[in-house]
Amino acid sequence: KAGVTQTPRYLIKTRGQQVTLSCSPISGHRSVSWYQQTPGQGLQFLFEYFSETQRNKGNFPGRFSGRQFSNSRSEMNVSTLELGDSALYLCASSQRTSGNYEQYFGPGTRLTVT
C-alpha cells in the first residue's frame, strides 16, 4: 500500500504571498490531519478533515484554511504569508473507524517564507 504523499516537498515564498499544499492519504483512509512543526512551538495541530468536513481546528489564524475532496485528498492554504509561517507542514491520514485511530505521516512540505 502506498504511503501518505505530500506535494511539493520544498517551497520558497515571499511575505504577503499565498501558498497551497497538497496531501494524498493512504488508500481507504478518510481522515486527514495537518500539523505545523517549528523549532520554537514544536508540533501543533492545524485541522482535521473527514469525509470532506472539517471536524476540528487548532488555534491558528484564519489565514490558515483547508479542504478535503471526495477522494479524501486534502489541501491546505495559507494566505498573506508571514515570516513566522516558515515551518515543516505535515499531514497524516488515518482510518478513524473500528477503533483504528493511528495516524500515518507524510514526508512533509518544507515552507520557507522570505
Partner 1 sequence: ELKVEQNPLFLSMQEGKNYTIYCNYSTTSDRLYWYRQDPGKSLESLFVLLSNGAVKQEGRLMASLDTKARLSTLHITAAVHDLSATYFCAVDLAGGTSYGKLTFGQGTILTVHP
Cβ-based nearer residue to partner 1, 54 or 114: 54
Cβ neighbours around 77 below 10 Å, total: 13
Q: Tell me 25's DSSP state.
A: P
Rounded distance, CA 71 to CA 10, Å? 24
Residue with cell 520558497: 12
Residues that bind partner 1 in the complex, under the rule CB under 8 A: 31-33, 35, 42-43, 45, 48-50, 55-56, 58, 90, 92, 94, 96, 101-108, 110
In the bound complex, what is the minimum distance in angstroms from residue 16's beta carbon to partner 1? 27
Residue with cell 499544499: 21
In the bound complex, what is the minimum distance in angstroms from residue 53's beta carbon to partner 1? 10
Cβ-based nearer residue to partner 1, 18 or 29: 29
In the bound complex, what is the minimum distance in angstroms from residue 104's beta carbon to partner 1? 7
Is residue 49 packed enough to be buried (19+ CB in 10 Å), middle (13-18) or exposed (0-12)?
Answer: buried
Cβ neighbours around 44 below 10 Å, total: 14
Cβ-based nearer residue to partner 1, 18 or 51: 51
In the bound complex, what is the minimum distance in angstroms from residue 32's beta carbon to partner 1? 8
Cβ-based nearer residue to partner 1, 21 or 90: 90
